Amino acid sequence: MTQHRQDEVLAELGFLARINLYEKVKPYGLRLPPPEGLAQSNIEGHMQLVNVRNARLHDKKISLECRGFCLAPFSTSMKYTDFEEPLKVKDVYCAEVAEAVKAGVAGARHTRIRRRDANFPTSTGVDFEHAQPASMAHANFTPDIAVQMIKTLYGPRADEVISEGWAIVNVWKPLKDAVVDWPLAVCDSRTFDAEHDGVPADVVYRDWISEDVLVHHATGQEWWFFPEQQPDEILLFKSVDSEKGLYAACPHVAFANPRASPNAPLRESVDCRVIVFFTKASELPPEVGHLYGAKD
pLDDT digits (tens, 9 = 90+) for 121-153: 444 344 534 455 778 999 999 999 999 999 999
Residue of 72, 89, 71 lying closest to 80 (CA atoms): 89
pLDDT classification of 5: cutoffs 50, 70, 90? low
**Which CATH number is 3-277's, of 1.10.20, 1.10.10, 2.60.120, 2.60.40?**
2.60.120
Quick one: pLDDT at residue 131?
Answer: 58
Share the mean pLDDT of the chain: 86
Mean pLDDT of 249-271: 94
Quick one: pLDDT at residue 246?
Answer: 95
CB crowding 111-146: b at 16 or more within 10 Å, else e: beebbbeeebeeeeeeeeeeebbbbbbbbbbbbebb
Quick one: pLDDT at residue 22?
Answer: 97
Is the predicted pLDDT of residue 296 greater than 50, yes or no? no
pTM confidence score: 0.87
pLDDT classification of 120: cutoffs 50, 70, 90? very low
Is the predicted pLDDT of residue 295 greater than 70, yes or no? no
pLDDT digits (tens, 9 = 90+) for 61-70: 899 989 999 9
Share of the chain above pLDDT 70, in %: 86
Q: With the C-alpha atoms ordered 111, 116, 172, 150, is the resulting torsion angle positive or negative?
A: negative
Give the list of residues 6+ apart from residue 145 with CB closer than 8 angstroms, or none: 210, 211
pLDDT digits (tens, 9 = 90+) for 87-113: 998 889 988 888 888 743 344 444 343
**217 against 292, higher pLDDT:** 217
Quick one: pLDDT at residue 203?
Answer: 93
How far is the CA of 6 from the CAs of 12, 150, 228, 258, 281, in angstroms?
17, 42, 12, 13, 46
Mean pLDDT of 259-266: 93
